[in-house]
Amino acid sequence: MHNIRTFRKLKKKTEKIVMMTAYDYPSGKYVQAAEADIILVGDSLGMVVLGYPDTLKVTLEDIIHHTKACRRGADDTFIVADMPFMSYHLDLETTKRNAARLILEGGANAVKLEGGSEARIAAITAIVGCEIPVIAHLGLTPQSVYAFGGYRVQGKKEAGFAKILKQAIDIQAAGAFMLVLEGVPEELGRVISEKLQIPTVGIGAGRYCDGQVLVYHDMLGMSDFVAKFVKEYDNLSDKITSALGQFCSEVKAGEFPAKEHVYNAIENNEDIK
């Protein structure tokens, strides 16, 4: 399993870091089998698993519950748990307690939080001060959707570009060991990745980040909305619908169960398998 030192070594060796989201036992198991370097139990779970329109309603209890399940499926992979909206925005005592719960109860190895304002830097410093590794997240931070007035690419204009670059530098100084960059121009992703010693992991941040992350349901073709930066590696949505539909029609037609699916009274001591 990786640790915060080995991630930095990967950057030094210019070996790309692979992060994928997972939210439960099966997705954790599949992502670990695919040999991802790091699993993110993201608050995207609100949209892709819980059916909310955005990530804002996800609670700390939701993330703990899903991180626990993911850990059962991925016992040997570094897991980072997202800090949900308003779990790190109040006082620093609450922030530290919430981060600690994700580690102690959820079984995560690190936490992630969004933003680079002074208040967020204070939160990062406080959590790192508890010996809890922190990943920061800049750019199109989904918890700021109302403040941004929608899901809009960030850092396109000069002032925004400079602001995000400064925040990235501050975040590194505050002790974050990795930075997720989302929804920014490729040029900004490149400049930040070159400037920082800590690895950057991009999602819609271009080709020059030190690693890439995608949301499990997006890359498997199971999401309602597909952003420009997503590559769908399969379309499981169609496959699942077709398999379930086949079961429905076979039951209606009396074709399932067939002879090979039934137990026979003459054969004793059969195990149900």
Q: Is the dihedral of CA 12, 13, 19, 24 positive or negative?
A: negative
Determine, following the binding rule CB under 6 A, whether residue 27 of this chain makes contact with ligand KIV: no
Q: Which C-beta is closer to ligand KIV: that of 117 or that of 246? A: 117
Q: Which residue is nearest to ligand KIV (CB)?
A: 42
Determine, following the binding rule CB under 6 A, whether residue 199 of this chain makes contact with ligand KIV: no
Determine, following the binding rule CB under 6 A, whether residue 24 of this chain makes contact with ligand KIV: no
* Subset of residues 70 to 89 that bind ligand KIV, contact rule: CB under 6 A: 82
Determine, following the binding rule CB under 6 A, whether residue 43 of this chain makes contact with ligand KIV: yes
Give the C-alpha separation, 257 to 102, whole Å.
44
Determine, following the binding rule CB under 6 A, whether residue 42 of this chain makes contact with ligand KIV: yes
Determine, following the binding rule CB under 6 A, whether residue 135 of this chain makes contact with ligand KIV: no
* Subset of residues 167 to 196 that bind ligand KIV, contact rule: CB under 6 A: 180, 182
Whether 17 and 7 have beta carbons less than 8 Å apart is answered as: yes
Q: What is the H or E stretch that residue 44 is in?
A: none
At 138, is the secondary structure helix, strand, or coil? strand
260: Cβ contacts below 8 Å, ≥ 6 apart: none
Cα within 13 Å of Cα(84), Cβ side: 21
Q: Which C-beta is closer to ligand KIV: that of 164 or that of 213? A: 213
Beta carbons within 10 angstroms of residue 22's beta carbon: 29
Whether 137 and 111 have beta carbons less than 8 Å apart is answered as: no
* Subset of residues 210 to 229 that bind ligand KIV, contact rule: CB under 6 A: 213, 215
Q: Is 114 assigned a catalytic role?
A: no
- Hey, which residues are catalytic here? 182
**Which residues of this chain interact with ligand KIV, rule CB under 6 A?**
21, 40, 42-44, 82, 137, 180, 182, 203, 213, 215
